[in-house]
Amino acid sequence: MTALNDAHDPTPAVLSLGQQREMLWSDPRHTVYAVILAARIPGLRARFTLDAVDDWDGLWTGELDADERVKAPVLVTLRPDAAFTDWLLGEAAADFGAWGVIALSQMPFLAMRMHGRALCKAQLPNGQAIRIDWMDPEVMEALLPVAAPDQLQRVFAGFDALITVGNERWTRWTFGTGGLAREDRGVK
Domain ranges of the chain: 4-187
Q: What is the mean pLDDT of residues 95-106?
A: 91
Q: What is the mean pLDDT of residues 43-68?
A: 90
Amino acid 159: pLDDT = 93
Residue 2's nearest CA partner among 173, 137, 116 is 173
- What is the distance between the alpha carbons of residues 97 and 37, in angstroms, rounded to a whole number? 11
Amino acid 170: pLDDT = 87
Amino acid 76: pLDDT = 97
pLDDT at 28 over 60: yes
Backbone angles phi and psi of 35, in degrees to 5? -115, 110
Averaged pLDDT of the chain? 88
Amino acid 11: pLDDT = 58
Confidence of residue 163 (pLDDT cuts 50, 70, 90): very high
Q: What is the pTM of this model?
A: 0.88
pLDDT at 50 over 90: no
- What is the distance between the alpha carbons of residues 130 and 128, in angstroms, rounded to a whole number? 6
Overall size of the chain counted in residues: 188
